[in-house]
Amino acid sequence: MSYARTAILLAAMTGLFLVCGFMLGGESGMLIALMIALGMNVFAYWNSDKMVLSMYGAKEVDKNSAPGLYGIVEQLAYRADLPMPKVYIMENSQPNAFATGRNPENAAVAATTGLLNILSQEEIAGVMAHELAHVKNRDTLIMTITATIAGALSMLASFAMFFGGNRNNSNPLGFVGVILMMILAPLAASIVQMAVSRTREYEADRIGAEICGRPLWLADALAKLESGAKRVDNMVAEDNPATAHMFIVNPLHARSMDNLFSTHPNMDKRIQRLKELAGQSGSQVQGPWG
């Protein structure tokens, strides 16, 4: 059901992009918007991982430069039956992490120095298991596409006034339609983007708990990360809010509510679900890092 909902939301975002193109330039504008959307998604498919890692200043590490983190990811990838992803560390005081890559064979996981400084080895394992769950579910590609289209919609809205001055197009609502698009398009894109993120986060929590074998490791980590992220600014994320949904906890300082306007699900609900999983799992597997 979650995959069906995600497909519907992605279709809705693509449709919104086409509608905006129509509002700006009629049928020709819609065709141009479709071509832009396809081009941006092809570009994102091949280059998004490099772009987001570079944006956050992530540095690749190996078993020599970061043996603890690399070893945890290596063991978890084996347990998840995944190829070993590239491992990155971001010099950022806000405790957080994300995964990226177009498929499991070209995946990367990244953690901030803030996360590594405040979490135990077990809690880091819980977080990395969550990120590998995104890789296993191919969420990294889905979330990249939503970020790309959301960014494109914001770009269209920014240029709406300029294009709206062309009275030779077939915009059915004229100047009023342009104004409405400027206001509503970025809002609607954010709603759909956040809905996609929430759908995938709950599932990644569940699969991540299965990968590491200890749901409470992830639950404890989430509580610490939520508290830490609220105290420490992540200025790169603040300047690029379209990437916020990629992180395990919201890197922005907007109030989090469990509805379509939140980047992430309500943290109390996420933790409660993990505790319920811990109660159901009975005997749990001890990781080799414990």
Catalytic residues: 131
Q: Are 56 and 111 in contact (CB under 8 A)?
A: no
CA–CA gap between residue 146 and residue 194 (Å, rounded): 9
CA–CA gap between residue 40 and residue 46 (Å, rounded): 10
